[in-house]
Amino acid sequence: MNILVTNDDGYEAYGIKLLIEKLKRFGNITVIAPNGNRSTISHAMNIHTPVTFEKIDNYFDVPLYVTSGTPSDCVRLGLKFLNEKFDIVFSGINSGLNLGTDVHYSGTCAGAREAVINGVPGVAISTGREFFIVAEKEMDILLDKIFNERLYSKDYFLNINFPKKTFDKSKDFVIAKSGTKIFITKFKMENGLVIEDSHELIKDNNPDTDVYLHDLGYTTIVPITIDSTDYVSYKKLKGQR
**Structural contact between residues 110 and 43, judged by C-beta atoms closer than 8 angstroms:** yes
Where do the domains of the chain lie, and which CATH numbers do they carry? 2-180+206-239 (3.40.1210.10)
Q: Is the pLDDT of residue 240 over 80?
A: no
What phi and psi, each to the nearest 5 degrees, are found at residue 104? -75, -20
Q: Is 154 helix (H, G, I), strand (E, B) or coil?
A: coil
Which residues, in sequence order, are bridge partners of residue 60?
none
Whole-number percent of the chain with pLDDT over 70: 100
What is the C-alpha separation between 110 and 150, in angstroms, rounded? 21
The number of beta carbons lying within 10 Å of the beta carbon of residue 175 is: 13
The confidence band for 145, taking pLDDT boundaries of 50, 70 and 90, is very high
DSSP state of 209: B
What phi and psi, each to the nearest 5 degrees, are found at residue 209? -95, 160
Pairing of strands 2-6, 53-56: unpaired
Q: What is the DSSP string of 222-233?
A: EEE-S----HHH
Crossing angle between the packed helical segments 133-148 and 14-23, to the nearest 10 degrees: 40
What is the pTM (predicted TM-score) of this model? Answer: 0.95
pLDDT, tens digit (0-9, with 9 covering 90-100), for 55-70: 998 888 999 999 999 9
Whole-number percent of the chain with pLDDT over 90: 90
The confidence band for 198, taking pLDDT boundaries of 50, 70 and 90, is confident
For CA atoms 85, 91, 93, 99, give the dihedral sign: negative
Q: Is the pLDDT of residue 23 over 90?
A: yes
